[in-house]
């Protein structure tokens, strides 16, 4: 009977490979792997002889269509794995699972290693509810915008993945956007050189900046947002024009500087602030001429 197995693989320690995962891979007619060379080493350890083909973010859509057709026509059993952890969690897999569901193919998920759940369990941070963000944008401006969204989320515990080359920059940005955040930064989970750093964002940032091995190994970051400010839902709103007037008179700003600060404070988009400034300008000009 055709089916698709979602098979987690160890994120470091090979002893985390489950008996059921090994059996599923041996039962399969085909294994889809993010990096076939990496996965072949794993298969060799457990004496798994199943055929292996590549399945990664660059061929995911096309290959999914091909594999689903193969499953349907030839009644195949297929497994999907990633380099480490659970497929579909910041890794390829979504496309083929979606197509399998749409074609009434049985999809079976196996329990196993996942950096998110491991990091949450050892974090010492409230895990009643959490938001998962995976990898955030690389560019500083987009990264800060993404962290602003994290900051405004009602769910204060968050999970972020990061690469070793960008961990320091991420911590700098978190420190800028959420300076009161509590963090548990997990590196090389389940591996020989596993390291977990817990504390305020400034404390964690200092430790990692002074770690000569910081740029080695993958990171899972669990954070708690202590900078969340609940929005006023009373319905009372101050117009942008009023905000501009206030900055001009209370801070002696020019119209241009008042608009700039409103945008920087994220009280309005550039477009909306500009439109409001035209109304203010018109008001000033009409009052000058009326006098």
The yes-or-no verdict on residue 289 having pLDDT over 80 is no
Asked if 217 and 253 sit in the same domain, the reply is: no
Alpha helices (runs of H) in the chain, residue ranges in sequence order: 19-27, 36-45, 60-74, 94-102, 115-122, 140-152, 167-177, 201-209, 240-250, 255-264, 270-290
**Count of CB atoms situated within 10 Å of the CB of 178:** 22
Residues 159 and 132 sit within 8 Å (Cβ to Cβ):
yes
Asked if 9 and 106 sit in the same domain, the reply is: yes
Asked if 166 and 92 sit in the same domain, the reply is: no
What range defines the domain where residue 28 resides? 3-113
Kindly state whether residue 232 falls inside one of the protein's structural domains: no
What is the phi-psi region of residue 50: left when phi exceeds 0, alpha when psi lies from -120 to 50, beta otherwise? beta
**Rounded-to-integer distance, Cα 260 and Cα 4, Å:** 54
Kindly state whether residue 97 falls inside one of the protein's structural domains: yes
Asked if 103 and 128 sit in the same domain, the reply is: no
What would the pLDDT profile of 133-156 be if each residue is shown by its tens digit?
Answer: 999 999 999 999 999 999 999 999
Residue 265 sits at the vertex; the CA angle it makes with 260 and 270, to the nearest 5 degrees, is: 45
Question: What 3 state SS string does 34-47 have?
Answer: CCHHHHHHHHHHCC
What would the pLDDT profile of 166-188 be if each residue is shown by its tens digit?
Answer: 999 999 999 999 999 999 999 99
Kindly state whether residue 235 falls inside one of the protein's structural domains: no
Asked if 141 and 198 sit in the same domain, the reply is: yes
- Looking at residue 235, its pLDDT comes to 46
Kindly state whether residue 234 falls inside one of the protein's structural domains: no
**Rounded-to-integer distance, Cα 7 and Cα 71, Å:** 17
Asked if 74 and 19 sit in the same domain, the reply is: yes
Domain end call among 91, 113, 135 = 113
Asked if 96 and 123 sit in the same domain, the reply is: no
The count of domains in the chain is 3
Kindly state whether residue 233 falls inside one of the protein's structural domains: no
Kindly state whether residue 265 falls inside one of the protein's structural domains: yes
For residues 15-27, give the mean pLDDT: 96
Domain end call among 113, 130, 149 = 113
Tokens of 269: 């988009």
259 or 102, which is more confident: 102
**Count of CB atoms situated within 10 Å of the CB of 260:** 15
The yes-or-no verdict on residue 20 having pLDDT over 50 is yes
What would the pLDDT profile of 23-70 be if each residue is shown by its tens digit?
Answer: 999 999 999 999 999 999 999 999 999 999 999 989 999 999 999 999
Domain end call among 51, 80, 113 = 113
Taken as a whole, the chain contains a residue count of 291
**Rounded-to-integer distance, Cα 209 and Cα 215, Å:** 10
Q: Which positions ≥6 away from 263 have C-beta within 8 Å? A: 269, 270, 273
**Rounded-to-integer distance, Cα 186 and Cα 198, Å:** 9
* 106: β partners: 3
Residues 80 and 6 sit within 8 Å (Cβ to Cβ):
yes
For residues 198-204, give the mean pLDDT: 97
Confidence band of 291 (pLDDT split at 50, 70, 90):
very low
Asked if 158 and 254 sit in the same domain, the reply is: no
What would the pLDDT profile of 205-252 be if each residue is shown by its tens digit?
Answer: 999 999 999 999 999 999 999 998 765 544 445 688 888 988 888 888
**Rounded-to-integer distance, Cα 97 and Cα 143, Å:** 29
């Amino acid at each position: 009977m055709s089916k698709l197995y979602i098979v987690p693989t160890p994120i470091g320690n090979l002893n985390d490979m489950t008996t059921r995962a090994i059996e599923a891979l041996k039962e399969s007619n085909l294994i889809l792997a993010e990096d076939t060379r990496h996965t072949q080493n794993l298969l060799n350890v457990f004496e798994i002889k199943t055929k292996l083909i590549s399945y990664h973010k660059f061929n995911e859509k096309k290959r999914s269509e091909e594999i689903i057709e193969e499953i349907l026509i030839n009644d195949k059993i297929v497994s999907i794995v990633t380099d480490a952890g659970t497929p579909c969690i910041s890794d390829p897999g979504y496309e083929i699972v979606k197509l399998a569901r749409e074609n009434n193919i049985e999809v079976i998920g196996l329990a196993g290693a996942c950096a998110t759940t491991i990091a949450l369990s050892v974090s010492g941070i409230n895990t009643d509810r959490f938001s998962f963000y995976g990898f955030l944008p690389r560019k500083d401006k987009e990264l800060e915008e993404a962290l602003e969204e994290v900051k405004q989320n009602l769910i204060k515990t968050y999970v972020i993945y990061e690469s070793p080359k960008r961990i320091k920059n991420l911590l700098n940005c978190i420190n800028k956007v959420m300076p009161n955040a509590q963090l548990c930064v997990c590196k090389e989970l389940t591996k020989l050189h596993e390291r977990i750093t817990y504390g305020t964002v400034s404390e964690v940032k200092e430790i990692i900046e002074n770690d000569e091995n910081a740029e080695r190994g993958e990171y899972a970051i669990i954070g708690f947002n202590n900078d969340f400010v609940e929005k006023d839902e009373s319905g009372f709103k101050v117009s942008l024009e009023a905000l501009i007037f206030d900055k001009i008179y209370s801070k002696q700003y020019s119209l241009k500087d008042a608009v700039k600060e409103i945008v920087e404070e994220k009280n309005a988009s550039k477009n909306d602030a500009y439109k409001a400034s035209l109304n203010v300008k018109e008001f000033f000009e009409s009052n000058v001429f009326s006098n």
